[in-house]
Structure 1
Amino acid sequence: MTSESSQASPPAKPDEAAIAETLLRLVAERGADKTVCPSEVARALGGPHPDGWGPLMQPVRRAAVRLMKDGRIVILRKGRVVDPDDFRGVYRLSLPR
């Protein structure tokens, strides 16, 4: 038996709807005036290993931008709401106030 045949296939990559649903659920569970790290969303979908959640960071960011433009969440950097079309670095996700 080769090592390839004993390996489990990788989990299916979540689609945009699954990412948005997970993001909204985590933000709602955290509650008002609290934030969620985008990596928490990626880990909820991709598991604890970086090979699983790492590739989801950009899709999570794109979902966050769409949801902010829809008025469903806000993206914060250093505690301030950002322009969804122009932000860099570390950011957090929260419910709108």
Structure 2
Amino acid sequence: MPLDEAILDALTRNGAGTLSPPEIAHVIEPEGDWHALLMPIRRAAVTLALADRLVIYRKGKPVEDPNDFRGVYRLGLPKAE
């Protein structure tokens, strides 16, 4: 399964909440080296956020520019309008 699909699948299975990149990495690679997935997850999250397929949160609020955010973040699915 491609990484972007695996991220969306993990978020869908989580329900209405958000997940941190390490939590998503553990879902994708429960037995292996999940640390190696953290940067690829970030890159995929930016791409998915730019396509409006997920939301990147910082301090509980959606980031304004997915290409420019720092620090701890969480990922969630877009809210249904």
Query: Normalising by the residue count of structure 2, what TM-score does the alignment of the two structures yield?
Result: 0.85
Indicate if the aligned counterparts of 1:39 and 1:57 stay in contact, CA closer than 8 A.
yes
Other-structure match for 1:95: 77
Higher relative contact order structure (alpha carbons within 8 Å, sequence separation ≥ 6): 2
Shift of 1:23: 0.6
CA RMSD across the alignment:
1.5
Other-structure match for 2:40: 59
Shift of 1:31: 1.9
Other-structure match for 2:66: 84
Query: Where does the alignment leave 5 or more consecutive residues of structure 2 unmatched?
Result: none
Residues 84, 21 of structure 1: alpha-carbon distance in 2 compared, 3 angstrom cutoff? same
Other-structure match for 2:49: 68
Other-structure match for 1:44: 27
Percent identity, aligned pairs only, is: 46
In the aligned structure 1, how far is the partner of 2:62 from the partner of 2:54? 10
Query: Normalising by the residue count of structure 1, what TM-score does the alignment of the two structures yield?
Result: 0.72
